[in-house]
């Protein structure tokens, strides 16, 4: 029996204690991924979110067997990434990997379809990716977004159980991005597992069931959008406060940052904090607003909070 079938019931992805470093020209090694563990269940739509250099692409490369971990293990459907890919269960839409500029969209899909043992069919893949209308267009005449959709059609061909997408909407304008996610949503609704890397908070927020936040090679948070937002500190309280004013002992403070004459607090109890600031300190021009996902992102990735703007 196929080892992939024997492993029915295994999580779609199980990454355990994985580390990966790269040599650089300056002889210093870059630790791209450090002790990363991640389990993804069938049917989950997971966003891997993080700033540049966080380790997202390296994690996806490990998952797709394109690179081997220095430590730890990577399993896809209970088997090695390479066997899962050979079995046609995994497809990827990556940043790298070129298309032939002189081929038409249909020719490209037809050529790749011929390499697979079984496919959903050229027309069906083009339809699902929303490129039927541009089937006769040369790849060189397609926009960046259309080329991404073409790559998406190629990824859909083998009818994979897991789709891995690295910044799939890079280079797309707002409309193309919205259309792309609409077709992705249809794929996810049919029970496919989707793991996508993105810089865009709003993509993670509007599309993923679960957000895995990476920074400096590590997973710094993992949860639903609302769980992550709560990690942002609940609410943000900002006020003018002279340099040197004591802020120790103020209630409900999760974190504190000074920006010139202003102090920015994240707080789980903004009412108590605001009251204390206004009655026990010389704070003025006080503002309170709920923490956004962006605040959680900034705080957890160590990139600082954003100043509450009146809204
Ligand atoms: N082949 C490589 N050789 C040397 N360094 C590498 C290599 N691949 C990745 N790195 C380094 O590892 C770190 C993580 O890179 P990675 O591409 O995984 O991050 P990322 O989160 O995908 O970033 P981005 O959003 O910019 O694509 C970075 O510091 C990067 O420069």
Residues 7-53 have pLDDT tens digits of: 557 899 999 999 999 988 877 889 999 999 999 999 899 999 988 88
The alpha carbons of the chain give a radius of gyration, in whole angstroms, of: 23
Query: Does ligand 1 lie within 6 Å of residue 250's CB atom?
Result: no
Of 21, 26, 29, 32, the residue with max ligand 1 atoms within 8 A of its CB, to mutate for a pocket test, comes to 32
Q: What is the pLDDT of residue 283?
A: 95
pLDDT band at 126 (very low <50, low <70, confident <90, very high): very high
Among 49, 76, 59, 51, residue whose Cα is nearest residue 18: 59
What pLDDT shows up at residue 250? 93
Q: Which two tokens stand for residue 98?
A: 């070129």
The per-residue pLDDT for 78 is: 93
Q: Whose CA is nearest to atom 18 of ligand 1?
A: 55
22 C-alpha to center of ligand 1: Å?
A: 9
127 band by pLDDT with thresholds 50, 70 and 90? very high
pLDDT at position 93 is 85
Range of lowest pLDDT (191-195, 247-251, 306-310): 306-310
Q: How far apart are CA 284 and CA 268, in angstroms?
A: 20
ipTM: 0.96
Cα 15 to averaged position of ligand 1 atoms, centre (Å): 18
Pocket of ligand 1 contains residue 29 by CB under 6 Å = no
pLDDT of residue 189: 83
Extract the tokens encoding 113.
Answer: 């379809």
Ligand 1 lined by 27 (C-beta under 6 Å): no
Predicted pLDDT at 307? 46
Instruction: State the residue for tokens 């991005």.
Output: 177
| C-alpha–C-alpha distance, residues 70 and 84, integer Å | 21
Report the separation in Å between the CA atom of 27 and the middle of ligand 1, taken as the mean of its atom positions: 16
- Domains of the chain in start order, with CATH, are 3-89+160-223 (3.40.50.300), 99-155 (no CATH), 233-300 (3.30.70)
Per-residue confidence (pLDDT) for residue 6, from 0 to 100? 41
Structure confidence at residue 162 as a pLDDT band (50, 70, 90)? very high
- Looking at the chain, the whole-number percentage of residues with pLDDT higher than 70 is 93
Q: Return the percentage of the chain with pLDDT > 90, whole number.
A: 50
Q: How far apart are CA 184 and CA 176, in angstroms?
A: 12
Tokens 């937002």 belong to 229
Tens digit of each residue's pLDDT (9 = 90 or more) over 259-309: 889 999 988 899 999 999 999 999 999 999 888 777 777 777 776 544 444
The answer on pLDDT for 188 being more than 90 is: no
- Look at the block and give the residue holding tokens 């890397």: 197
Region 97-124 average pLDDT: 91
For residues 176 and 182, give the distance between their C-alpha atoms in angstroms, rounded to a whole number.
10
- Tell the residue nearest (CA) to atom 2 of ligand 1: 22
Burial of 246 (0-12, 13-18, 19+ CB in 10 A): exposed
- First CA to last CA distance, the chain: 60
Give 99: exposed, middle or buried? Use CB within 10 Å, 0-12, 13-18, 19+.
middle
Give the residue from 51, 44, 30, 9 showing the smallest Cα distance to 303: 51
Does the Cβ of 56 fall within 6 Å of ligand 1? yes
Please report which confidence band the pLDDT of residue 116 belongs to, taking 50, 70 and 90 as the band edges: confident
The answer to which of 93-97, 200-204, 223-227, 287-291 has the lowest mean pLDDT is 93-97
- Total-model pTM: 0.80
Helices (H), the chain: 3-6, 56-63, 81-86, 105-113, 122-129, 144-156, 174-189, 201-207, 225-231, 270-280, 293-300
Cα–Cα distance measured from residue 33 to residue 134, given in angstroms and rounded to the nearest whole number = 39
């Amino acid at each position: 029996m196929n080892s992939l079938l024997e492993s029915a019931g295994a999580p779609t992805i199980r990454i355990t204690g994985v580390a990966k470093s790269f040599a650089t020209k300056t002889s210093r090694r870059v630790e791209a991924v450090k002790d990363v563990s991640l389990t993804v269940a069938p049917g989950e739509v997971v966003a891997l979110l993080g700033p540049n250099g966080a380790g997202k692409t390296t994690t996806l490369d490990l998952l797709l067997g394109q690179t081997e971990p220095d430590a730890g293990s990577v399993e896809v459907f209970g088997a090695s990434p390479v066997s899962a890919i050979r079995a046609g269960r995994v497809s990827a839409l990556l940043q790298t990997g070129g298309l032939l500029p002189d081929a038409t969209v249909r020719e490209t899909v037809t050529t790749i379809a011929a390499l697979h043992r079984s496919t959903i069919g050229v027309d069906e893949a083009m339809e699902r990716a929303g490129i039927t209308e541009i089937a006769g267009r040369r790849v060189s005449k397609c926009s960046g977004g259309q080329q991404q959709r073409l790559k998406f059609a190629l990824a859909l061909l083998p009818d994979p159980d897991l789709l891995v997408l690295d910044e799939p909407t890079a280079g797309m304008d707002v409309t193309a991005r919205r259309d792309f996610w609409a077709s992705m949503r249809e794929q996810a609704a049919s029970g496919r597992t989707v793991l996508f890397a993105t810089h865009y908070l709003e993509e993670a927020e509007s599309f993923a069931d679960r957000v895995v936040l990476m920074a400096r090679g590590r997973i710094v948070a993992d949860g639903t959008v609302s769980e992550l937002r709560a990690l942002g500190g609940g609410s943000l309280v900002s006020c003018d406060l002279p340099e040197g004013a004591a802020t120790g002992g103020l209630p409900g403070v999760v974190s504190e940052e000074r920006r010139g004459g202003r102090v920015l607090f994240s707080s789980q109890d903004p009412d108590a904090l605001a009251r204390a600031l206004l009655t026990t300190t010389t704070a003025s021009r006080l503002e309170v607003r709920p923490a956004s996902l962006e605040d959680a992102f900034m705080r957890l990735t160590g990139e600082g909070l954003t100043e509450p703007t009146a809204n």
